[in-house]
Structure 1
Amino acid sequence: MPTLPELVGLVLLDGIAEPRDPLRHIATAERIAGELDVLGDSLVGLFVEMARAEGCSWADIGAPRGLSRQGAQQRYAPLLARLTLDDLIRTDVLQHFDDATLGCLRHAQTRAAQLGHDTLDSGDLLLAVLDDPAGLAGTVIRALGTDPSAVRAALDHEPDQPDTIPSRTPPGIGPDARRAIDGAIAEAHGQNVAVAHLFLALLRAPGSPGGHALTAHGITRPAALAHILGLAGRPTQDPA
């Protein structure tokens, strides 16, 4: 843990080449204090995530703290949104994701960071899936009568922001992006998670940015699943 004198030193070192300004020191101290708060929340969130990955329920997590299942979820779920992709890898949440799917997640994270976003959402995930070199999502979308570029246009409409400064830290995993990741794990039924599973998971939440962009163009999970199973030469019946 940094000591108070060490933190004071950090404040005084900031802008040391400039004339001493006590008002700037206050602003610097507030910024560092905020960064420490975020770091602390990420630390707690990381260990909550590790407990969940090991099978602990929200009720298990809340019980020692006198919290109900709902209370634990309300207290800790926001902290999970601060976790980054590397944090999820560290906690083994993504241990069954194949290289292509991890590549999609990293591509989505890079895009969100370049836009200066604090969190990754399902829209970022869908654009990354559409950019997948294998092109499965585009193949399915075209087979269902829609132009993938129309789906992309529903999401990829960020205005020109020449003054936007890319985030210095990787964006966290937003709630709807996390639901898509969990949904992809469920879609895989214990097997390795492929890009197709992530695509289907986005369709599980039609109200999310990614899910809405698809369903608004008539792309539904049952239709997409049937086509994917057909491409794989398997019976077109949902195993779930």
Structure 2
Amino acid sequence: MMPSSPTLESLIAQVRSGLENGPALDRLTLAVGLANRLGELGENLIGYYVDEARRDGASWAEIGTRLGVSRQAVQKRFIPSEAGMRGRGQEGFWDRASADLKTAVKLAREAAQARRKTYLGTEHLLLGLAGQPDQTTAQALARCGADPVTIRGAIDGRVGAPQSEPLPDETPFTRLALRALQHALREALLMNQANVGSEHLALGLLTIGEGIAHDVLINLGVSYERLREAVKEVTADPAAAAQSEQSVQPAPGRPEDGQS
């Protein structure tokens, strides 16, 4: 049985209930916002099942056939790019990114440069999350057994520790890092939240199903279900979360990523 879907009548009623006695132009503005929201949800619904089909072994050509477009068109639509992240939809991805997510990406870039990498990968995004131990995302990860010190140690063991002279060059996102950001947006939509936060990125690093960050988190015993529950716990009671995580502060004398 097909699930029920919004009808035109129900959408009109939703707009009117919000501004029953307001000016008609205000209702028009509300209707435009609702239509954009529905379009974004629809695009991410399709994208979710495109990802599932890819994991199931379907080729881009087969997916394109189901969508009635070419392989090139479906790849352009669903494979994220830096340009697309800046300008897709009514607002670009970064217009909706929270301050802590932007800081995490800044720290991730510094972590990549400190390790003399010419790219920004999922491992660097995870380091960026670990670089904000006072934020709820790092506290949620710590509740799952992945505190900042443990994360840094696990990643340093995979890709090497920071070097004495960081690279000053630009570090473009890898394909997997862009997918993690794309999945972060999807996680925000799943939680019915307008902004994309660092907690959504942490979940996105798991849902992409591959990459160094995914492997590190899985090896540390972090599951999607447990992390999502931990995010809810620390968000509901941030003061208690901060107190419970005081024992997992970085070891004294150890340089932070990007500050070696």
Give the TM-score of the pair, scaled to structure 1: 0.57
Q: Which amino acid aligns with 1:218?
A: G
After superposition, where does 1:178-197 map in structure 2 within 5 Å? 178-189=178-189, 190-197=193-200
Q: What is the CA distance between 1:138 and its match in structure 2? A: 3.4
Asked whether the equivalents of residues 136 and 235 of structure 2 are also in contact (C-alpha less than 8 Å), the reply is: no
| 3-state secondary structure, aligned to 1:132 | coil
Match of 2:131 in 1: 131
Larger fraction in helix: 2
For 1:96 and 1:118, the matched residues in 2 are separated by 27
Amino acid at match of 1:125: L
**Counterpart of 1:219?**
222
Segments of 5+ residues of structure 2 without an aligned counterpart are 1-39, 48-59, 238-260
Q: Which runs of 5+ in 1 are unaligned?
A: 1-51, 235-240
CA deviations 1:22-61 (Å, max 9, x no partner) are xxxxxxxxxxxxxxxxxxxxxxxxxxxxxx9xx7x999xx
Matched, 1:176 2:179: no
1:150 positional shift? 2.4
Q: Deviations for 1:158-208, whole angstroms, at most 9, x for unmatched residues?
A: 44797977253x221111101110111011115211111111111113421
Q: Which residue of 1 aligns with 2:96?
A: 96
TM-score by length of 2: 0.53
1:121–1:173 CA contact under 8 A, matched in 2 = yes
In 2: Cα distance, 1:116 partner to 1:77 partner:
30
Partner amino acid, structure 2, of 1:178: L
Structure 2 residue aligned with 1:229? 232
The Cα of 1:144 is off from its aligned counterpart by 2.6
CA distance in 2, matches of 1:202, 1:123: 9
Identity %: 18
> CA–CA distance in 2 between the matches of 1:73 and 1:115?
35
Say which SS state the counterpart of residue 155 (structure 1) adopts.
helix
Give SS of 1:215's match.
helix
Secondary structure of residue in 1 paired with 2:96: coil
Mapped contact 2:108–2:120 kept (Cα < 8 A):
yes
Change (3 A) 1:228 1:70: same
Question: Structure 1 residues 166 and 207, CA, compared in 2 at 3 Å: closer, same or farther?
Answer: same
Q: Which structure exhibits the higher relative contact order, with contacts defined as CA atoms closer than 8 Å and separated by 6 or more residues?
A: 2
Question: Taking structure 1 as reference, are residues 76 and 145 closer, same or farther at Cα in structure 2, changes over 3 Å only?
Answer: closer
Q: Partner residue of 1:44?
A: none
